[in-house]
Amino acid sequence: MAEIQETLIEAGFVRPAVYWEGTVKKTGEGDGVFRRKTVGEACGGWIAYIVAEKPVSGKQKVTAKSKTAAKRPARRSVR
């Protein structure tokens, strides 16, 4: 997993993370709950999601305020 995270960083992504599926202790099967972890279990098979953020290009950064503003129609000033 570390190699994939490094490749994501080299490709320009930031904050890569791995979400591993938990295990039901009685059965040893997956429980369907994924948690962010840095170390996984050493087992024959596992399910994990690898995620990373793609930074916004240019100087403008997306914020909660700019997302809301983008949804509203532009106001016209009346003179």
What pLDDT digit, counting tens, does each position of 15-68 carry?
999 999 998 999 988 899 999 998 877 777 888 999 999 988 754 444 555 444
Res 58: pLDDT: 55
Asked if 27 and 72 count as a contact pair (C-beta separation under 8 A), the reply is no
Asked if 34 and 49 count as a contact pair (C-beta separation under 8 A), the reply is yes
Asked if 17 and 29 count as a contact pair (C-beta separation under 8 A), the reply is no
Q: Is the pLDDT of residue 73 over 90?
A: no
Res 10: pLDDT: 94
pTM over 0.75: no
Res 60: pLDDT: 44
Q: Where are the domains of the chain?
A: 2-71
